[in-house]
Structures are given as C-alpha cells and as structure tokens.
Amino acid sequence: MKTPKQFVIRGGRPLHGEVEISGAKNAVVAILPATLLSDEPCIIENVPEISDVDISLRILRELGAKVRYLSPHTYEIDTREVMSYTVPYESARKMRASYYFMGALLGRFGHCRVSMPGGCPLGDRPIDQHLKAFKKLGAIAKVERGMVDITTPESGLQGTQIFFDCVTVGATMNAILAAVKAEGLTVIENAAKEPHIVDLASFLNSMGADIMGAGTDTIKIRGTKYLRGTSYAVIPDQIEAGTYMVAAAATGGNVLVKNVIPKHLESIINVMEKIGVKIEQFDDAVRVSADGPLVKTSIKTRPHPGFPTDMQPQISALLCLAEGTSMIKEGVSEQRFQYVDELRRMGADIQVDGKVAVIEGTGHLTGAPVKACDLRAGAALMIAGLAASGVTTIEDIYHIERGYADMEGKLRALGACIEKKTVCQDAVQHDVIVRQDAV
Ligand code: EPU
C-alpha cells in the first residue's frame, strides 16, 4: 500500500507569475489506448505527468505494448506485438477512462474483455450508450461478473448509424475508436463536442483515419484498414487551465496562464468575467487578475460549449468569496456536490438541494483539515486553501494527482506556501502528526 500524502497550505497569499498548462487528461487517456489501432509505432508528445497516464501506460504494457520514454512528456508506443485483449479488474478499476480500451481493442481485434471501469465517485455512471454503439456496429456484448465481454461475428464490425440517447463524452470517443476500422461509413448523431473529442479525431486522422465533423453533433467515420504510425502532441488541458485561472482570482492575484487554447476556455472566461475577474486573452495564453470585489452569479453546467461540470467545484470555491447569493445548477453529473461538506468546514455557506447549490458568499474562508473526495473536489479545496486565512491540510490527494501534473510545484512557483507531506502511520490512526516528506 502506498504511504498516504497530504497537502499543507498556508493560505492568504495572492498568486503571481506564470504557469504552464500540461496536456489534457481527458484527451490523452483516449489517445494512449488509440495507439492500439495503429499498425506502426506512434510518438505522443505533451503527455501530462499524472497518475491516470501511468495507469494507461501500465495497461498498454500489460497488453504487450512496448512503451519507451523519449524525453519529458514524450513517449513512443509500439503496439504491434500486442496479443491480449483483456484488461482485468485490478487495472481497470483504477480509472474511469479504462473504458477506452474497449473501443480500441474492439477496433484492433474485434474482441475485448475489459473490467467495468472505476474512477471518481460521481454517482451512477452507466456505460449503456457505449454498449449501444458497439452493438450497432455489429458486436455482441455481455457483462458478466464485472467483465464486459465483447465479440464480433466473422464479418467484422460494420459501419452504421448511431444515435446517442444522451450527450456522452465517453461513448462518443468509444464509438469513434471502434468505428475507425469498421467496414464502411459510420454516422454518430447527438455526439459530444468537447475539445478532447476533436483531439482524438485529429490524432486518428494523422494516422490515416477518415473522421469528419468532430466538434459538431454529427461525426462521420469512413472505416480504414491500415493506420500508420504518427507523431502527435496532445492539446492543453482546458480544465487544468480553468483551475489555475480560478486560483489566481480567488487569491486576488495576477497570473499568466500559458500553453492554452483560449477558444476552449470561452465558457469559463465568460463566467469569471461576470464574477468580476479581469481576463486578457492572447494567442496561447490568458492573463487573469482580480483586484476588485467578486460578485455573485448563476451558472448551469452543460456539455461543451457550455460551462463544464469539471469546473463546477472550483467555481463554487470562488463564489464563496464573492458578495451575494449565487446559484449553481449541475446539468451533467449526478453527484457533484460531495465537496460541499468539506468547504463548509472552511466556513462556506452552501445549501444543496438535489442538483442545485445555493452559495451565500461570505467573502472569506478559514483554513481547516479537509479531504478530497474526487479529482475536481480536490482542486476546489486547493483553491479554497490558497485563498483561506490560516492552514488547510488536504487528505486523499491521490485524487488530485490523477489529473493535475505537479500541482504543488506549479503553485509554489506562483508564490503559494504549499507542501506535500507524508502522513505518519501513527497520524493516520490518531489524525494528528504529519512529517516532512523525505523524498
Ligand atoms: N451517461 C449515460 N450512459 C452512458 C454514458 C453516460 O447515461 O453510457 C450519462 C452519465 O451518467 C452522465 C452523462 O451521461 O450523466 C455524461 O457522461 P459522459 O459519458 O459525458 O461522462 P464520462 O465519459 O463518464 C467524461 C470525463 C469526465 C467529465 C464528463 C463530462 C473522461 C475520462 N471523463 O466522463 O471527467 O466530467 O466526461 O464532461 O473523459 C474529470 O475529468 O474530473 C471527469 C470526471
């Protein structure tokens, strides 16, 4: 078992300086499995150093791929000798995105056995739409003892029309992965439009796939027999960028957030401007500053291009510091208010009723011991801790490390007083002492 770690933040210091955004988690976790579809090695650049990437690379190795580290953030992946199409529970349970191995292995072999995915506890997260897409392509899918077992008749996967009953990122990406080597034309309707869907399609097209319309709600894929190797850089992480933007605003700082695609940040920028944050846009950077009062607002999360559910907890932390009553309606995830109890420990006044949270801005938060219950909840607590007076300790930071590359180092470079500490085994039991991480 890994030694538990915690972040200790001494809050109340405005963030200043520049921060470089890493590659997008939700793009790379699909692009790495997609290398299984290539008939030659691929080089993937701008790979973020996060634990979800470690898990994806481990699964690729377990399947028989050769993974070579070339330079910081760059890997060569050669899947030519992969013979296995099974991803067992032990590997799949560690992250939600392990479901992309279903589409990729199905596209590669016409078969796969992948355990039901794990990931953030955000309520019931079914995969019925993924299975619907695979079945429409001609596969036979059954779920038994937690394993999803998918086979294809001898004729192979056949192009088809897929209409999703809800807008789903995962099922859209999985349908693309499976359809790319199917016979003939596949048309996906009511597709999700997130930037990572466009990125997956661009990656596959750079291997010789024929995918049109990614980023709109209708995607057309003409199946291709041979996909060549490619060299491809993952897009910057829209949510990591948004998180640093909110952190800058919450601390009353002034930060240049670099290596971003401002177009991907439009809905976040609009909301932050309404709250009273100043944002300047450049070609591949945004400058965020907040020296005036923050004001209330109302937000509903929606699929892209709407305000992302993955930014909802972070913006709630900011709204705790604003004047007036704000309202947040969660329009995507089922349970995304689990962080509220932790923010309350820091003095937040938030009432939740079903999918709606009402935030009474108190203008101030105070440091407290809190626990990250999922990735973005952890990010919200980091922001709250940076803005709060006093010391905040955040436990279960492995959630944060799933999706944020070196958050501690990046924040420290911006002037934050933050340390990652190893929790003493005694302290785990007695909940008191922490000691400096020796590593
Ligand atoms: N849904 C179904 N059936 C399905 C698939 C989805 O009913 O077969 C429902 C879900 O229950 C949910 C809605 O559709 O209510 C949207 O789910 P979606 O499939 O879009 O989400 P996901 O693929 O499970 C991805 C991201 C999440 C992000 C959501 C929404 C990855 C690996 N995960 O999840 O990212 O919140 O899209 O944008 O890409 C995160 O990064 O913190 C994170 C949780």
The answer to whether residue 320 is catalytic is: no
Q: Which atom of ligand 1 is nearest to the CA of 26?
A: 39
Residue 25 Cα: closest atom of ligand 1: 41
Strand order in the sheet with 254-258: 16-20, 254-258, 285-289, 278-281
CA distance 419 to 6: 8
**Residues of 124-162 as b/e, b for ≥16 C-beta within 10 angstroms?**
ebebebbbbbbebbbbebeeeeebbebebeeeebbbbeb
Residues 293 and 121: their CA atoms lie apart, in Å, by: 34
Tell how far the Cα of 301 is from the centroid of ligand 1, in angstroms: 13
Element at 283 (helix H, strand E): none
Q: What pLDDT is stored for residue 131 in this prediction?
A: 95
> Does residue 125 have its Cβ closer than 6 Å to ligand 1?
yes
Ligand 1 pocket mutation, candidates 332, 355, 375, 400, criterion most atoms within 8 A of CB: 332
pLDDT band at 325 (very low <50, low <70, confident <90, very high): very high
Ligand 1 centroid to Cα of residue 125, in Å, is 7
pLDDT band for 133, please (50, 70, 90 cuts). Answer: very high
Mutation choice for ligand 1 from 29, 59, 99, 125, CB with most ligand atoms inside 8 A: 125
Ligand 1: residue whose CA is nearest its atom 7: 126
What are 363-414's pLDDT values in tens digits? 999 999 999 999 999 999 999 999 999 999 999 999 999 999 999 999 999 9
pLDDT range class, residue 432, cuts 50, 70, 90: very low
- For ligand 1, atom 16, the nearest C-alpha belongs to 168
pLDDT of res. 437: 38
Between CA 376 and CA 155 the distance in angstroms is 43
Site to substitute for ligand 1 among 22, 26, 134, 330, most atoms within 8 A of C-beta: 26
Q: Does the CA dihedral 374-376-381-386 come out positive or negative?
A: positive
Token pair of 382 as six digits: 């980091």
Protein residue with least CA distance to atom 40, ligand 1: 310
The mean per-residue pLDDT over the stretch 300-325 comes to 97
The hierarchical CATH code for the domain 5-22+236-438 is: 3.65.10.10
Evaluated on CA atoms 182, 236, 165, 354, the torsion sign reads positive
pLDDT at 41 over 60: yes
312 half-sphere exposure, CB direction, 13 A CA radius: 31
Does residue 132 have its Cβ closer than 6 Å to ligand 1? no
3-state secondary structure (DSSP) of residue 337: coil
Pocket of ligand 1 contains residue 129 by CB under 6 Å: yes
Ligand 1 within 6 A of CB of 173: no
Residues 97-108, mean pLDDT to the nearest whole number: 96
Q: Determine if ligand 1 sits within 6 Å of the CB of residue 175.
A: no
> Which residues have a Cβ under 8 Å from the Cβ of 146 and sit 6 or more positions away?
89, 115, 116
Res. 420: pLDDT tops 50: yes
pLDDT number for residue 430: 46
Verify whether ligand 1 is closer than 6 Å to residue 383 (CB atom). no
Q: Comparing 5-22+236-438 with 25-222, is the CATH topology the same?
A: yes
Ligand 1 and 376: CB distance under 6 A: yes
CB of 96 within 6 A of ligand 1: the answer is: yes
Give the chain's radius of gyration (CA, Å).
22
pLDDT tens profile 140-163 = 999 888 899 999 998 899 999 999
Classify residue 405 by burial, with Cβ atoms within 10 Å: 0-12, 13-18, 19+.
buried
Catalytic residue among 42, 120, 320, 373: 120
Per-residue confidence (pLDDT) for residue 116, from 0 to 100: 84
In sequence order, which residues have a C-beta less than 8 Å from that of residue 202 and are 6 or more positions away? 214, 232
CATH architecture designation of domain 25-222 = Alpha-beta prism (3.65)
56 ligand 1 Cβ < 6 A: no
Q: How far is the CA of 252 from the centre of ligand 1 (A)?
A: 32
Alpha helices in 51-127 (DSSP H): 51-63, 89-92, 100-109
pLDDT tops 80 at residue 124: no
From ligand 1's centre to the CA of 127, what distance in Å? 9
DSSP strand pairing (417-423 vs 325-329): unpaired
User: Average pLDDT, stretch 46-63?
Assistant: 96
| Residue 97 Cβ contacting ligand 1 at under 6 Å | yes
Side-by-side strand order, sheet with 434-436: 369-371, 391-395, 5-10, 417-423, 434-436
Distance 323 CA to ligand 1 centre (A): 32
Burial call 261-286: b when 16+ CB within 10 Å, e when fewer: bbebbebbbebbeebbbebeeeeebb
Mutate to test the pocket of ligand 1, among 148, 164, 166, 177 (most ligand atoms within 8 A of CB): 166
What residue ranges do the domains of the chain occupy?
A: 5-22+236-438, 25-222
Question: How does pLDDT run across 336-354, given as a tens digit for each residue?
Answer: 899 999 999 999 999 999 9
Please work out whether the CB of residue 130 comes within 6 Å of at least one atom of ligand 1.
Answer: yes
Ligand 1 atom, smallest distance to 173 CA: 23
